[in-house]
Each structure stands twice: as structure tokens, then as C-alpha cells.
Amino acid sequence: MPTDGGTMIVELNAAGPDAPGAPDGLSMDMLSDAGIADALMGVPDALTDGEQDFLDFMGNNNGQFDVGDLRAYLMYTGAIPEGTSPAGN
């Protein structure tokens, strides 16, 4: 808040981010299957640290980028149907 009596303009976005608490400017639709798979296989610079953190946040949120986050991404894209158990049952 301005302390000098000036005016402050605040812009509000009713739609908000894709997910509350998610880094602004990232969405699941901006990522690629190949980039995520490459990052999990250890390909350097396949994803930024921010993208990996975002995927973990949107995935299993366990503090590390891992196969659980890939699974959540694939469920989001519809490649794995919602409710499918990890064992495929």
C-alpha cells in the first residue's frame, strides 16, 4: 500500500491461475509428453526447474519430480483414464 498518499492500481483476474498456488504463467497444456519423459530419463534441460516444480505441485506434490507426476500429467491429458489404478485394475 502506498504510504505517501498516492494511488495504487490493483488488477484482479476473476479466472485466477490454472491452480491456486501454481506459478503464474505455467499450465499443463504448455508442457509436452516428450519433454516430461525426457526429464524423467535424465535428459539435461528437458524441463526447467520451475516446470518440474509445477508438475510436482500439480501431480503427487511430494517435493520431487517423479513418475507419479508423469502419471498425474497423463491423467490430465486423458492418456490415462481418470480412476485407473497404478496396477491397471
Q: What is the pLDDT of residues 28-79, one digit of tens each?
A: 888 898 999 999 999 999 999 989 998 998 899 999 999 999 999 999 888 8
Mention every residue, 6+ apart, whose C-beta is less than 8 A from residue 2. 8
**What is the rounded CA–CA span in Å between residue 31 and residue 77?**
10
Classify burial at 25, counting beta carbons within 10 Å of its beta carbon; exposed 0-12, middle 13-18, buried 19 or more: exposed
Residue 23 is predicted with a pLDDT of 55
Q: Give the residue from 52, 28, 30 showing the smallest Cα distance to 40.
A: 52
- Confidence label for 82 from pLDDT (cuts 50, 70 and 90): confident
Residue 88 is predicted with a pLDDT of 55
**What is the rounded CA–CA span in Å between residue 9 and residue 7?**
7
pTM: 0.67
